[in-house]
Amino acid sequence: MFRNHTQPTALAVGTFAALPDLKAIALQCGLIVRNNKKFSAEGLLLTLFKAISTGNASFSQMAASLGECEVRTLSRQALHQRMKPEVIGFLEAVLKHVGLSTLNMKEEDGSYPFRRIILEDATQMRMHPKNHPSFRAVANNSGVTSGAKIDVIMDLVSGELLRQKETQGYVQDRSLGPELLPMIMEGDLVLRDMGYFDVSSFAYIESQSAYWLSRLHGQASVRLLDGTTLEELLSRTTENFIEIEVTLTEQKHRARLIAVRSSPEVASRRRQQRKDKRRRNGTQASKRSLQREDWDILITNIPADKCGLDELVRLYRQRWEIEIHFRAWKQSLEMRRALNRITSRVHLHALILTAMIFSALAIKIQKWVQKWKPRLEISVEKLFIWLSGRLRILRSLKSEIPIDLRHISRCKRKRSSLHQSGCGLRPLN
């Protein structure tokens, strides 16, 4: 039923080669003062990897896991005493090294009309509600909640992870968006989702001779150059797509707007979802926002002679790459189980940082494999799951990990899918 794109090949990857000198960093951060047969920087990091991979993140479980890596066993009380701010400094230094070493592996790809395609998005990590004093999240009808937000910036051209940042769960995406701006260089394209919509950021991107492409925020006012509102245009047009120059918000920032009419089923579902969301919040959806649900609306400063309508839609669909990254990350790790406990802030923070190191390490291994096998189509989900499984059974980070490319390669169906063949599926109810 399935066949691989390439001939199966075995490679070996050394995880330790992707990491810095752990002992030197631990000494510099004050995590380790002298040699100890019960505790080492390598053993601690491997123990944390196993904790997030299996979800066994209590101090008793971590102490037992650490005992498998060291000469002698450490008690859970002793491990608890070791979980101090120096651990956070150590993990942050390791994350910085792995991230920077990933950046150095960039290769130019001439198939894109832009130097880089930069994408920013965030994902939530839930915790036990009683951790709310240390990790606040947005409250709901059930009371206080606890969680952390991981903001990720990626380059879709090279597949590189440009930055990962952990912040409180209540922080809005829009407040994180400006942190991307110093990274922008001439010729870049920045893909924005509605949560990061900010006209001031668009103006800054243009000042750097770069480009931006975003979905239109439902509450942003839009007018044509003659002063007509966007809603007036949408209500009277009979076309299935619109391409016109407009001004955004009260700042009257000029942009190119592309609107593609949605199917009646999709539009109806969107309107109902918006009404339900507003009802839960005790408000009422505006007529303007409901009218826009009939359309898929993009705004950009990319000129028409550089990217046509079809190309813009294809480019924006690349946002799905970061959603695949988040899905692979969460499916391969047992973070919900690991974080669902009442414990210290340092303990929870260490688990989150370890998950971020795991993500950067997986992307670096992906770059290595792509360098050795350029024609291999790698499944991100399979790669993350494979790495998680290997880390569970490792006894040392210095060990090489064999990779069977059949286990991480993307498969292709020999037959057409039901959707491609025109066959419909019977509804479940």
| H or E stretch at 245 | strand 241-248
194-245 tens-digit pLDDT: 889 999 999 999 999 999 999 988 788 899 999 898 988 888 888 888 899 9
Residue 307: per-residue pLDDT: 86
Starting at the edge strand found earlier in the chain, the sheet holding 241-248 runs 160-168, 147-155, 117-126, 189-192, 211-215, 295-300, 253-261, 241-248, 222-224
Domain boundaries, the chain: 111-322
Query: What is the phi/psi pair of residue 343, to 5°?
Result: -155, -170
Measured CA distances, 346 to 85, 91, 129 (Å):
7, 11, 16
* Res. 4 pLDDT band, cuts 50 70 90: very low
205-214 burial by CB neighbour count: b if 16+ within 10 A, else e? beeeebbbbb
Query: Counting beta carbons within 10 angstroms of the beta carbon of residue 123, is it exposed (0 to 12), middle (13 to 18) or buried (19 or more)?
Result: middle
pLDDT tens per residue across span 299-330: 999 998 888 888 888 888 888 888 888 999 99
Q: What is the mean pLDDT of residues 250-254?
A: 91
- CATH match for 111-322 among 3.90.350.10, 3.40.50.2300, 3.30.465.10, 3.30.1330.10: 3.90.350.10
Query: In a 3-state reduction of DSSP, which class is residue 120?
Result: strand
Write the pLDDT tens digit of every residue in 33-83.
888 888 999 999 999 999 999 999 999 999 999 998 888 888 999 999 999
Instruction: Give per-residue pLDDT as tens, 276-291.
Output: 877 777 777 776 677 7
pTM of structure: 0.82
Residue 106 pLDDT: 43
Between CA 78 and CA 62 the distance in angstroms is 11
Confidence grade of residue 27 (pLDDT, cut at 50, 70, 90): very high
Q: What is the DSSP letter of 130?
A: G
